[in-house]
Structure 1
């Protein structure tokens, strides 16, 4: 009997371009005030697979497709004995499944570590999946669910005035990649780093954005760039900023657990004599220019067309030529969906983060839950690299809270 196959898109393929360097995953971490009903959680996972069957699949790179395997919710949800059992959440996506949930019992409450394949979905789609999971957990008697998941990128491409990227390079030349973390040999471990901004501190950052007439994202990016100055001798770099493309299409508001992310490439000055205010305003000016030209769609239409006519093996080589994974990067996953909650349970902490990257690569992920903002990094590195990573996060936080 033939196994069921679900085809991928050109944007799924992008996530596999550098899979040998890091496994593309997106993470959610939750701290609960009480224990979760694990059996009920497994039932909810099973219900979500009726809508997103790719969860129970292995990913086939040759075909850019998901092939249904004999997985069940027991393969997805596991109770673990150690809170920092990160290794369980890094696995071969070719084998599958595309989702894993670890439940760690600690005292009166539970910690949830949830990881989903970035080949399957981006951060915005992950939030939609988490909301769907919670819906099935909270409404056990929900019989029918008629909503369909849209994965095609076509509506993104033909409902938007896409203009050609005018002059910025698609690659970051090696000379523009600052060595932020120390390059060293030694025992490497998995580290999850984070700092938080309280509700009052986040209001201070929002006020700063308002006074400068810039976006909150501009302030985050500018503060990150400002913090980087202390860790490199270079005078500029290009910082990527992912962009959710759903808002440009008729799909906005519909279920789109898929990859629908473009990116802006923002050239940022790291000049030591530049003040924080100047850096933020420069970031704002560059981002506004790129937004006005829809630069976040760079190459996506081209790759989509090629995806329909070329063999996947050849397309993968082309994808690598057009897309690079920058060692120093940034992603803002925004405010976490208010529909992510478990009935009868208070979520004390919740944040999202990108995948584990091998140091000296370093990506800061930003997310906000109930007006608490978390700056998080997943990395694989030595103790010295972990310490440097925490220093950078703390300097970014200091920049965010500093007076202009």
Structure 2
């Protein structure tokens, strides 16, 4: 069985090639007890059959890259077990291997309170698709606990093309987005988050948790001012950067889930349908948090009124339509430009869907790829009204220190 390599499959592959990120998605789940190992292993194996592209290998060095199906029974390491936190942490920063498959793997840290890490190749899907996968895994696990002979008779194997979004717009809308919204996707101010220049680096993941009571206060602030969690987080991000960089003209790349434009959200496929837009802001020394929030909210609302994210989708579609893959690789190699500071709001992990029958979850969070210097991305997820920030990077102890200090600043800026 052959699967077409879609535009964002190719882009994510090239992001690793040109050292933007290592194209892996991550989920960490901390349990208040023990999970059933047999049911978990069986559920993970079943996902390879429900989502057949997960048990495929990526063939890239040909005229047109593609995915080729591999017998899922040949994969022996989809789930590993450890009793050692250091081994679990090492797994968290490891990678899937797109050239051999499988495109998803997991590790369970066994203790009095288990922890589970799930990795998926970002070439397969974005964070929203990853959440769909996690909900599927939970459903399979919970059903297997009720009936060890449980089987499933449907496939998640629909259309993975970004054209499912593009076709929602007419030619006029796409032309306007292309001609008049260019700054949305590439009009960024070239800024660097402070990073060490040492060449010896190791991948690491740092997290910062906002507890329930504080998160509920932030939500109340949003409700009272008719702004979003995304607006408020972006505001705190800007204000922290202002203090770190001592510059008032700032720019942050923000991820946008383009599924918002689909009339039918059930596309029955794991795929990448995320764009990025550039937020530019000028901060004044006497700006209050409310002042900055209003600037952010006004900027984002204006983008939303003009089909936020469409410019990026039109551009990337044209690029792959006008040029063959080999030529696109050369273009990106010579002119690869990405904003160096970004944010992705992965949003809510639904506690009613992300649940493993019989074992309570203390907290869960997802985040994207490990970034290479000089790229820096803040990710945020909430589960059961606990918000978790993550930053992941190939760096060293000095970089860790800088990021920890950033988290302190970010936290201090958020509404109390």
Contact 1:191 1:380 in 2 (8 A): yes
Deviates further, 300-309 or 43-52 = 300-309
Shift of 1:371: 0.8
In the TM superposition, what are the counterparts of 1:9-20 in structure 2 within 5 Å?
9-20=6-17
Are 2:103 and 1:98 equivalent residues in the alignment? yes
Higher-helix-fraction structure: 2
Distance 1:14 1:384 in 2: 31
> Could you tell me the TM-score, scaled by structure 2's length?
0.87
Are 2:48 and 1:67 equivalent residues in the alignment? no
Counterpart of 2:151?
A: 143
Report the CA distance shift for 1:272/1:91 in structure 2 as closer, same or farther (over 3 A): farther
Are 2:23 and 1:8 equivalent residues in the alignment? no
- Structure 1: segments with no counterpart, 5+ residues: none
Distance 1:122 1:301 in 2: 18
Distance 2:392 2:268 in 1: 28
Contact 1:155 1:251 in 2 (8 A): no
Distance 2:116 2:124 in 1: 20
**Aligned-residue CA RMSD (Å):** 2.4
In the TM superposition, what are the counterparts of 1:80-119 in structure 2 within 5 Å?
80-85=82-87, 86-88=89-91, 89-106=94-111, 108-119=112-123
Report the CA distance shift for 1:354/1:344 in structure 2 as closer, same or farther (over 3 A): same
Distance 1:321 1:201 in 2: 46
Counterpart of 2:186?
A: 171
Report the CA distance shift for 1:99/1:234 in structure 2 as closer, same or farther (over 3 A): same
Shift of 1:226: 0.7
In the TM superposition, what are the counterparts of 1:254-403 in structure 2 within 5 Å?
254-304=267-317, 307=320, 310-318=323-331, 324-337=337-350, 338-402=352-416
Shift of 1:70: 4.8
Report the CA distance shift for 1:305/1:206 in structure 2 as closer, same or farther (over 3 A): same
Are 2:200 and 1:216 equivalent residues in the alignment? no
Distance 2:52 2:324 in 1: 25
Shift of 1:34: 2.3
Distance 1:58 1:352 in 2: 24
Contact 2:187 2:278 in 1 (8 A): no
Shift of 1:317: 4.1
Counterpart of 1:25?
A: 24
Shift of 1:344: 0.7
Distance 2:385 2:51 in 1: 30
Distance 1:200 1:118 in 2: 33
Shift of 1:309: 6.6
Q: 1:128 aligns with which of 121, 128, 132?
A: 132
Report the CA distance shift for 1:82/1:17 in structure 2 as closer, same or farther (over 3 A): same
Contact 2:191 2:251 in 1 (8 A): no
Shift of 1:206: 1.4
Report the CA distance shift for 1:230/1:309 in structure 2 as closer, same or farther (over 3 A): closer
Report the CA distance shift for 1:399/1:24 in structure 2 as closer, same or farther (over 3 A): same
Contact 2:126 2:274 in 1 (8 A): yes
Deviates further, 389-398 or 47-56 = 47-56
* Paired residue secondary structure (2:281): strand
